[in-house]
Structure 1
Protein backbone atom coordinates (compact mmCIF):
# COMPACT_ATOMS: atom_id res chain seq x y z
CA UNK A 1 0.00 0.00 0.00
CA UNK A 2 1.39 3.39 -1.04
CA UNK A 3 2.59 5.68 1.73
CA UNK A 4 1.19 9.20 2.19
CA UNK A 5 -1.22 11.21 0.08
CA UNK A 6 -4.66 10.23 -1.23
CA UNK A 7 -5.79 6.67 -1.87
CA UNK A 8 -4.63 5.41 -5.24
CA UNK A 9 -7.23 3.36 -7.10
CA UNK A 10 -6.77 1.34 -10.28
CA UNK A 11 -9.97 0.51 -12.14
CA UNK A 12 -8.94 -2.31 -14.46
CA UNK A 13 -11.48 -3.84 -16.82
CA UNK A 14 -12.18 -5.78 -19.98
CA UNK A 15 -15.10 -4.91 -22.22
CA UNK A 16 -15.96 -6.28 -25.65
CA UNK A 17 -18.85 -4.09 -26.74
CA UNK A 18 -18.81 -1.36 -24.10
CA UNK A 19 -21.12 -2.41 -21.26
CA UNK A 20 -18.38 -3.05 -18.70
CA UNK A 21 -16.54 0.03 -19.96
CA UNK A 22 -19.53 2.21 -19.04
CA UNK A 23 -19.52 0.74 -15.53
CA UNK A 24 -15.75 1.22 -15.26
CA UNK A 25 -15.96 4.88 -16.30
CA UNK A 26 -18.67 5.57 -13.73
CA UNK A 27 -16.60 3.86 -11.04
CA UNK A 28 -13.50 5.89 -11.91
CA UNK A 29 -15.37 9.19 -11.77
CA UNK A 30 -16.98 8.29 -8.44
CA UNK A 31 -13.62 7.29 -6.95
CA UNK A 32 -12.10 10.61 -8.00
CA UNK A 33 -15.00 12.49 -6.43
CA UNK A 34 -14.37 10.50 -3.24
CA UNK A 35 -10.83 11.86 -3.14
CA UNK A 36 -8.85 9.10 -4.81
CA UNK A 37 -6.17 9.37 -7.45
CA UNK A 38 -7.47 7.06 -10.17
CA UNK A 39 -6.09 5.14 -13.12
CA UNK A 40 -8.67 3.74 -15.56
CA UNK A 41 -7.06 0.89 -17.50
CA UNK A 42 -8.25 -1.74 -19.96
CA UNK A 43 -6.57 -5.10 -20.35
CA UNK A 44 -5.16 -6.15 -23.70
CA UNK A 45 -7.40 -7.75 -26.32
CA UNK A 46 -6.72 -11.41 -27.15
CA UNK A 47 -9.32 -12.10 -29.82
CA UNK A 48 -8.17 -12.32 -33.47
CA UNK A 49 -8.65 -9.14 -35.48
CA UNK A 50 -10.88 -10.91 -37.99
CA UNK A 51 -13.24 -12.06 -35.23
CA UNK A 52 -13.51 -8.52 -33.86
CA UNK A 53 -14.05 -7.08 -37.34
CA UNK A 54 -16.92 -9.49 -37.94
CA UNK A 55 -18.84 -8.09 -34.96
CA UNK A 56 -19.94 -4.50 -35.52
CA UNK A 57 -20.44 -3.68 -31.85
CA UNK A 58 -17.11 -5.20 -30.86
CA UNK A 59 -15.09 -3.45 -33.56
CA UNK A 60 -16.86 -0.14 -32.85
CA UNK A 61 -15.96 -0.35 -29.17
CA UNK A 62 -12.33 -1.28 -29.86
CA UNK A 63 -11.96 1.77 -32.08
CA UNK A 64 -13.77 4.05 -29.63
CA UNK A 65 -11.51 3.13 -26.70
CA UNK A 66 -8.08 3.29 -28.33
CA UNK A 67 -7.33 6.24 -26.04
CA UNK A 68 -7.65 4.12 -22.89
CA UNK A 69 -4.23 2.93 -21.72
CA UNK A 70 -3.64 -0.79 -21.26
CA UNK A 71 -3.11 -2.11 -17.75
CA UNK A 72 0.36 -3.08 -16.59
CA UNK A 73 1.71 -4.71 -13.45
CA UNK A 74 2.97 -1.28 -12.42
CA UNK A 75 -0.65 -0.11 -12.16
CA UNK A 76 -1.35 -2.86 -9.63
CA UNK A 77 1.84 -2.12 -7.70
CA UNK A 78 1.00 1.61 -7.63
CA UNK A 79 -2.55 1.19 -6.34
CA UNK A 80 -3.82 1.04 -2.77
CA UNK A 81 -7.25 -0.04 -4.02
CA UNK A 82 -8.34 -2.17 -6.96
CA UNK A 83 -11.63 -2.47 -8.80
CA UNK A 84 -11.67 -5.20 -11.46
CA UNK A 85 -14.44 -5.58 -14.01
CA UNK A 86 -15.18 -8.13 -16.73
CA UNK A 87 -18.16 -9.60 -18.54
CA UNK A 88 -19.22 -13.14 -17.73
CA UNK A 89 -18.06 -15.97 -19.96
CA UNK A 90 -19.78 -19.22 -18.99
CA UNK A 91 -20.05 -17.97 -15.42
CA UNK A 92 -16.40 -16.92 -15.24
CA UNK A 93 -14.49 -13.70 -16.01
CA UNK A 94 -13.63 -13.12 -19.65
CA UNK A 95 -10.32 -14.66 -20.68
CA UNK A 96 -8.79 -11.28 -21.42
CA UNK A 97 -8.96 -10.22 -17.77
CA UNK A 98 -7.96 -13.68 -16.56
CA UNK A 99 -4.88 -13.57 -18.80
CA UNK A 100 -3.83 -10.29 -17.21
CA UNK A 101 -4.40 -11.72 -13.74
CA UNK A 102 -2.22 -14.69 -14.67
CA UNK A 103 0.74 -12.34 -15.28
CA UNK A 104 0.72 -11.06 -11.68
CA UNK A 105 2.89 -13.85 -10.29
CA UNK A 106 5.96 -11.65 -9.79
CA UNK A 107 3.99 -9.14 -7.68
CA UNK A 108 2.31 -11.95 -5.75
CA UNK A 109 5.65 -13.64 -5.12
CA UNK A 110 7.11 -10.43 -3.71
CA UNK A 111 4.06 -9.86 -1.48
CA UNK A 112 3.30 -6.59 -3.23
CA UNK A 113 -0.44 -7.26 -3.55
CA UNK A 114 -1.01 -7.92 0.16
CA UNK A 115 -3.46 -5.58 1.95
CA UNK A 116 -4.73 -3.85 -1.17
CA UNK A 117 -8.46 -3.16 -0.89
CA UNK A 118 -10.20 -4.90 -3.77
CA UNK A 119 -13.65 -5.39 -5.27
CA UNK A 120 -15.17 -6.56 -8.58
CA UNK A 121 -18.04 -5.86 -10.99
CA UNK A 122 -19.49 -7.57 -14.04
CA UNK A 123 -22.15 -7.72 -16.74
CA UNK A 124 -23.85 -10.54 -18.61
CA UNK A 125 -26.01 -10.85 -21.71
CA UNK A 126 -28.83 -12.65 -19.89
CA UNK A 127 -30.49 -12.39 -16.50
CA UNK A 128 -29.05 -15.67 -15.22
CA UNK A 129 -25.77 -15.53 -17.10
CA UNK A 130 -23.47 -16.16 -14.15
CA UNK A 131 -22.98 -12.74 -12.63
CA UNK A 132 -22.48 -13.91 -9.04
CA UNK A 133 -20.18 -16.80 -9.99
CA UNK A 134 -18.09 -14.40 -12.08
CA UNK A 135 -17.71 -11.99 -9.17
CA UNK A 136 -16.84 -14.82 -6.80
CA UNK A 137 -14.28 -16.11 -9.30
CA UNK A 138 -12.60 -12.70 -9.47
CA UNK A 139 -12.65 -12.51 -5.68
CA UNK A 140 -10.83 -15.86 -5.51
CA UNK A 141 -7.82 -14.05 -6.95
CA UNK A 142 -7.98 -11.50 -4.14
CA UNK A 143 -7.78 -14.27 -1.55
CA UNK A 144 -4.56 -15.53 -3.11
CA UNK A 145 -3.12 -12.04 -3.24
CA UNK A 146 -3.87 -11.43 0.44
CA UNK A 147 -6.01 -8.46 -0.53
CA UNK A 148 -8.84 -7.06 1.58
CA UNK A 149 -12.11 -7.80 -0.21
CA UNK A 150 -14.59 -4.93 0.03
CA UNK A 151 -18.09 -6.04 -1.01
CA UNK A 152 -20.85 -3.47 -1.49
CA UNK A 153 -23.24 -5.58 0.58
CA UNK A 154 -26.49 -3.78 1.29
CA UNK A 155 -24.70 -0.76 2.73
CA UNK A 156 -26.57 1.73 0.51
CA UNK A 157 -30.24 1.95 -0.54
CA UNK A 158 -29.27 1.47 -4.20
CA UNK A 159 -28.29 -2.10 -3.36
CA UNK A 160 -31.93 -2.91 -2.67
CA UNK A 161 -32.72 -1.73 -6.20
CA UNK A 162 -30.00 -3.73 -7.93
CA UNK A 163 -29.95 -6.68 -5.55
CA UNK A 164 -26.31 -7.75 -5.82
CA UNK A 165 -24.25 -7.62 -2.60
CA UNK A 166 -21.27 -9.28 -4.30
CA UNK A 167 -20.54 -6.41 -6.68
CA UNK A 168 -22.20 -4.18 -9.23
CA UNK A 169 -23.68 -6.04 -12.18
CA UNK A 170 -25.81 -5.42 -15.23
CA UNK A 171 -27.84 -7.52 -17.66
CA UNK A 172 -27.32 -6.13 -21.15
CA UNK A 173 -29.74 -8.39 -23.05
CA UNK A 174 -27.13 -9.22 -25.66
CA UNK A 175 -25.71 -5.72 -25.64
CA UNK A 176 -28.99 -4.02 -26.46
CA UNK A 177 -29.55 -2.42 -23.03
CA UNK A 178 -26.83 -0.15 -21.58
CA UNK A 179 -26.41 0.24 -17.82
CA UNK A 180 -29.21 2.33 -16.37
CA UNK A 181 -29.28 4.82 -13.53
CA UNK A 182 -29.55 2.14 -10.84
CA UNK A 183 -26.64 0.08 -12.18
CA UNK A 184 -24.42 3.14 -12.57
CA UNK A 185 -25.36 4.32 -9.08
CA UNK A 186 -24.50 0.86 -7.72
CA UNK A 187 -21.00 0.81 -9.22
CA UNK A 188 -20.46 4.42 -8.11
CA UNK A 189 -21.37 3.44 -4.56
CA UNK A 190 -19.09 0.42 -4.76
CA UNK A 191 -16.17 2.57 -5.90
CA UNK A 192 -16.77 5.09 -3.11
CA UNK A 193 -16.97 2.30 -0.54
CA UNK A 194 -13.65 0.82 -1.67
CA UNK A 195 -12.02 4.25 -1.47
CA UNK A 196 -13.46 4.90 2.00
CA UNK A 197 -12.28 1.53 3.33
CA UNK A 198 -8.84 2.06 1.84
CA UNK A 199 -8.68 5.54 3.40
CA UNK A 200 -9.63 4.15 6.81
CA UNK A 201 -7.07 1.37 6.47
CA UNK A 202 -4.33 3.83 5.58
CA UNK A 203 -5.22 6.06 8.53
CA UNK A 204 -5.26 3.11 10.89
CA UNK A 205 -1.81 2.02 9.79
CA UNK A 206 -0.50 5.58 9.91
CA UNK A 207 0.49 5.54 6.26
Structure 2
Protein backbone atom coordinates (compact mmCIF):
# COMPACT_ATOMS: atom_id res chain seq x y z
CA UNK A 1 0.00 0.00 0.00
CA UNK A 2 1.84 3.05 -1.31
CA UNK A 3 1.24 6.47 0.22
CA UNK A 4 2.84 9.34 -1.68
CA UNK A 5 4.10 12.17 0.52
CA UNK A 6 4.46 14.99 -1.97
CA UNK A 7 5.89 18.20 -0.54
CA UNK A 8 7.96 21.33 -1.08
CA UNK A 9 10.29 22.81 1.52
CA UNK A 10 12.40 25.93 0.99
CA UNK A 11 14.20 26.01 4.34
CA UNK A 12 13.69 22.44 5.58
CA UNK A 13 10.75 22.76 7.95
CA UNK A 14 8.21 21.13 5.67
CA UNK A 15 10.77 18.39 5.03
CA UNK A 16 10.88 17.72 8.77
CA UNK A 17 7.08 17.59 8.79
CA UNK A 18 7.11 15.24 5.79
CA UNK A 19 9.46 12.88 7.63
CA UNK A 20 7.07 12.78 10.60
CA UNK A 21 4.17 12.05 8.26
CA UNK A 22 6.23 9.24 6.69
CA UNK A 23 6.82 7.74 10.14
CA UNK A 24 3.07 7.62 10.67
CA UNK A 25 2.56 5.89 7.32
CA UNK A 26 5.15 3.27 8.24
CA UNK A 27 3.67 2.73 11.71
CA UNK A 28 0.31 1.92 10.10
CA UNK A 29 1.91 -0.61 7.75
CA UNK A 30 2.06 1.53 4.63
CA UNK A 31 4.94 2.22 2.27
CA UNK A 32 5.80 5.94 2.27
CA UNK A 33 6.93 7.40 -1.06
CA UNK A 34 8.68 10.64 -0.10
CA UNK A 35 8.90 13.01 -3.07
CA UNK A 36 9.50 16.72 -3.59
CA UNK A 37 8.22 18.83 -6.48
CA UNK A 38 10.58 20.46 -9.00
CA UNK A 39 12.27 23.67 -7.90
CA UNK A 40 11.51 26.98 -9.63
CA UNK A 41 14.14 29.11 -7.87
CA UNK A 42 17.13 29.61 -10.22
CA UNK A 43 20.20 27.57 -9.25
CA UNK A 44 22.36 30.70 -9.06
CA UNK A 45 20.02 32.22 -6.47
CA UNK A 46 20.20 29.09 -4.33
CA UNK A 47 23.98 29.05 -4.66
CA UNK A 48 24.22 32.58 -3.20
CA UNK A 49 22.03 31.80 -0.17
CA UNK A 50 23.62 29.66 2.55
CA UNK A 51 20.29 28.77 4.16
CA UNK A 52 18.80 27.65 0.86
CA UNK A 53 21.92 25.61 0.09
CA UNK A 54 21.77 23.94 3.50
CA UNK A 55 18.10 23.04 3.05
CA UNK A 56 18.72 21.66 -0.44
CA UNK A 57 21.61 19.58 0.86
CA UNK A 58 19.37 18.24 3.64
CA UNK A 59 16.94 17.00 0.97
CA UNK A 60 19.45 15.86 -1.63
CA UNK A 61 18.38 12.20 -1.42
CA UNK A 62 14.66 12.91 -1.90
CA UNK A 63 13.56 12.05 -5.46
CA UNK A 64 11.83 14.65 -7.62
CA UNK A 65 8.19 13.71 -8.13
CA UNK A 66 6.75 12.75 -11.50
CA UNK A 67 3.14 12.39 -12.54
CA UNK A 68 3.70 8.62 -12.57
CA UNK A 69 4.10 8.81 -8.79
CA UNK A 70 0.57 10.20 -8.52
CA UNK A 71 -0.80 7.42 -10.68
CA UNK A 72 1.09 4.71 -8.78
CA UNK A 73 0.12 5.76 -5.26
CA UNK A 74 -2.83 4.37 -3.32
CA UNK A 75 -3.06 7.45 -1.07
CA UNK A 76 -1.55 10.94 -1.02
CA UNK A 77 -0.38 13.38 1.64
CA UNK A 78 0.40 16.82 0.25
CA UNK A 79 2.57 19.43 1.98
CA UNK A 80 3.35 23.04 1.07
CA UNK A 81 4.52 26.13 2.95
CA UNK A 82 2.13 29.05 2.77
CA UNK A 83 2.63 31.82 0.25
CA UNK A 84 0.25 34.66 1.13
CA UNK A 85 -2.43 32.19 2.19
CA UNK A 86 -1.95 29.82 -0.74
CA UNK A 87 0.19 26.85 -1.66
CA UNK A 88 3.64 27.75 -3.00
CA UNK A 89 4.33 28.26 -6.72
CA UNK A 90 6.38 25.07 -6.96
CA UNK A 91 3.43 22.95 -5.78
CA UNK A 92 0.93 24.91 -7.87
CA UNK A 93 3.08 24.45 -10.96
CA UNK A 94 3.27 20.69 -10.42
CA UNK A 95 -0.50 20.35 -10.17
CA UNK A 96 -1.15 22.67 -13.11
CA UNK A 97 0.53 20.05 -15.30
CA UNK A 98 -1.81 17.21 -14.27
CA UNK A 99 -4.65 17.83 -16.72
CA UNK A 100 -4.14 14.47 -18.47
CA UNK A 101 -4.44 12.66 -15.13
CA UNK A 102 -7.62 14.65 -14.46
CA UNK A 103 -9.07 13.85 -17.89
CA UNK A 104 -8.50 10.13 -17.31
CA UNK A 105 -9.83 10.27 -13.74
CA UNK A 106 -6.74 8.50 -12.42
CA UNK A 107 -6.92 9.98 -8.91
CA UNK A 108 -10.66 9.55 -8.36
CA UNK A 109 -11.42 7.81 -5.08
CA UNK A 110 -7.91 8.00 -3.64
CA UNK A 111 -7.67 9.42 -0.08
CA UNK A 112 -5.54 12.51 0.54
CA UNK A 113 -4.33 14.46 3.58
CA UNK A 114 -2.54 17.80 3.89
CA UNK A 115 0.15 19.61 5.88
CA UNK A 116 1.75 23.05 5.86
CA UNK A 117 4.02 25.49 7.68
CA UNK A 118 3.54 29.23 8.18
CA UNK A 119 5.40 32.23 9.56
CA UNK A 120 2.80 32.97 12.24
CA UNK A 121 -0.23 31.43 13.93
CA UNK A 122 -2.63 33.45 11.79
CA UNK A 123 -0.39 33.45 8.73
CA UNK A 124 -2.55 31.26 6.50
CA UNK A 125 -2.35 27.72 7.90
CA UNK A 126 -5.96 26.84 7.20
CA UNK A 127 -6.29 28.77 3.94
CA UNK A 128 -3.16 27.09 2.56
CA UNK A 129 -4.50 23.65 3.46
CA UNK A 130 -7.82 24.52 1.86
CA UNK A 131 -6.12 25.94 -1.25
CA UNK A 132 -4.50 22.53 -1.77
CA UNK A 133 -7.79 20.81 -1.00
CA UNK A 134 -9.55 22.53 -3.92
CA UNK A 135 -7.23 20.92 -6.45
CA UNK A 136 -7.56 17.46 -4.90
CA UNK A 137 -11.35 17.70 -4.88
CA UNK A 138 -11.31 18.58 -8.58
CA UNK A 139 -9.32 15.37 -9.09
CA UNK A 140 -12.02 13.41 -7.25
CA UNK A 141 -9.88 12.58 -4.24
CA UNK A 142 -11.30 11.90 -0.77
CA UNK A 143 -10.06 14.43 1.79
CA UNK A 144 -8.83 13.09 5.13
CA UNK A 145 -8.48 15.55 8.01
CA UNK A 146 -7.37 15.31 11.62
CA UNK A 147 -10.30 14.54 13.97
CA UNK A 148 -10.83 16.22 17.33
CA UNK A 149 -10.27 12.87 19.02
CA UNK A 150 -6.65 14.02 18.70
CA UNK A 151 -6.48 15.94 21.97
CA UNK A 152 -3.60 18.14 20.84
CA UNK A 153 -5.95 19.99 18.48
CA UNK A 154 -7.68 21.41 21.54
CA UNK A 155 -4.54 22.37 23.41
CA UNK A 156 -1.99 23.38 20.76
CA UNK A 157 -0.82 26.99 20.89
CA UNK A 158 0.87 26.90 17.48
CA UNK A 159 0.27 24.31 14.77
CA UNK A 160 -2.40 21.71 14.13
CA UNK A 161 -5.85 22.06 12.56
CA UNK A 162 -8.72 19.71 11.64
CA UNK A 163 -7.87 20.45 7.99
CA UNK A 164 -4.40 18.95 8.35
CA UNK A 165 -1.10 19.06 10.20
CA UNK A 166 0.77 22.37 10.45
CA UNK A 167 3.69 24.16 12.07
CA UNK A 168 4.53 27.77 12.90
CA UNK A 169 8.16 28.33 11.93
CA UNK A 170 8.64 32.11 12.24
CA UNK A 171 9.02 34.93 9.73
CA UNK A 172 12.54 33.77 8.87
CA UNK A 173 11.55 30.06 8.92
CA UNK A 174 14.11 29.55 11.69
CA UNK A 175 11.84 27.89 14.28
CA UNK A 176 11.61 24.11 14.01
CA UNK A 177 8.26 22.28 14.15
CA UNK A 178 7.38 21.41 17.76
CA UNK A 179 6.91 17.89 19.11
CA UNK A 180 3.15 18.49 19.04
CA UNK A 181 3.35 19.52 15.36
CA UNK A 182 5.30 16.36 14.55
CA UNK A 183 2.92 14.17 16.56
CA UNK A 184 -0.07 15.51 14.64
CA UNK A 185 1.89 14.91 11.42
CA UNK A 186 2.48 11.28 12.41
CA UNK A 187 -1.21 10.90 13.27
CA UNK A 188 -2.13 12.33 9.86
CA UNK A 189 0.17 9.80 8.20
CA UNK A 190 -1.39 6.94 10.16
CA UNK A 191 -4.93 8.11 9.46
CA UNK A 192 -4.49 8.48 5.70
CA UNK A 193 -2.82 5.06 5.58
CA UNK A 194 -5.58 3.46 7.65
CA UNK A 195 -8.30 4.87 5.40
CA UNK A 196 -6.34 3.94 2.28
CA UNK A 197 -6.23 0.36 3.52
CA UNK A 198 -9.95 0.30 4.21
CA UNK A 199 -10.77 1.65 0.75
CA UNK A 200 -8.46 -0.86 -0.94
CA UNK A 201 -9.74 -3.74 1.21
Query: Is the contact made by 2:85 and 2:127 (CA closer than 8 Å) also made in structure 1?
Result: yes
Aligned positions of 1:148-159 closer than 5 A: 148-159=142-153
TM-score, normalised via structure 1 length: 0.91
Candidates 175, 191, 194, aligned match of 1:196? 194
Is the partner of 1:176 in helix, strand or coil?
coil
How far the C-alpha of 1:157 sits from its partner, in A, is 1.7
- Structure 1 residue 165 and structure 2 residue 162: aligned? yes
Output aligned runs, 1:1-207, within 5 Å.
Answer: 7-162=1-156, 163-173=160-170, 174-203=172-201
Q: TM-score when scaled to structure 2? A: 0.94
CA distance in 1, matches of 2:121, 2:45: 25
Query: Once the two structures are superposed, what CA deviation does each residue of 1:91-119 show, in whole Å capped at 9, x if it has no partner?
Result: 00010011111111111111101001001
Residue ranges of structure 2 left out of the alignment (5+ in a row): none
Which residue pairs with 1:3 in the alignment?
none
Query: May I ask how many residue pairs the two structures share in their alignment?
Result: 197
SS in 2 for 1:53: helix
Do the aligned partners of residues 187 and 66 (structure 1) sit closer, same or farther apart at CA in structure 2, a change above 3 Å counting?
Answer: same
- The answer (yes or no) to whether the contact 1:10–1:76 under 8 Å persists in 2 is yes
| Backbone CA RMSD of aligned residues | 1.2
**Deviation, structure 1 residue 188:** 0.5
Runs of 4+ in structure 1 over 3 Å off: none
Cα offset, 1:76, TM superposition: 0.6
Paired with 1:128 and 1:54, the residues of 2 have a C-alpha distance of 31
Pairwise CA distance, 1:37: 1.4
The answer for unaligned runs of 5 or more in structure 1 is 1-6
